């Protein structure tokens, strides 16, 4: 089973249990990565905020790459 990566416009599938495809997921800072797992299923509000933050950080990194 797989689903779409959480990053908008990303066409890659993400593995079950992972929020994003591997290239995007590995860009998420470790602390945030842990926070996402810690709140997944237990604290939907915090989980949603963590996911939004992770998506924002990854998109910022992608944009920085595009300019270099
Ligand atoms: Zn992706």
- Contact call for residues 51 and 19 (beta carbons, < 8 A): yes
Tens digit of pLDDT for each residue in 11-47? 999 998 889 999 999 999 999 999 999 999 999 999 9
Q: How far is the CA of 18 from the centre of ligand 1 (A)?
A: 11
Q: How far is the CA of 45 from the centre of ligand 1 (A)?
A: 23
Q: How far is the CA of 10 from the centre of ligand 1 (A)?
A: 5
CA-to-CA dists, residue 58 to 14, 37, 42, 47, angstroms = 15, 17, 24, 16
Q: How far is the CA of 66 from the centre of ligand 1 (A)?
A: 15
CA–CA dist 31, 4 (Å, integer): 23
The model's pTM is 0.86
């Amino acid at each position: 089973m797989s689903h779409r990566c959480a990053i908008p416009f990303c066409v890659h599938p993400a593995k079950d249990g992972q929020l994003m495809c591997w290239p995007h997921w590995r860009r998420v800072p470790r602390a945030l990565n842990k926070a996402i797992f810690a709140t997944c299923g237990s604290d939907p509000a915090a989980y949603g905020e963590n996911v939004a933050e992770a998506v924002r950080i990854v998109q910022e990194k992608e944009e920085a790459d595009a300019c270099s």
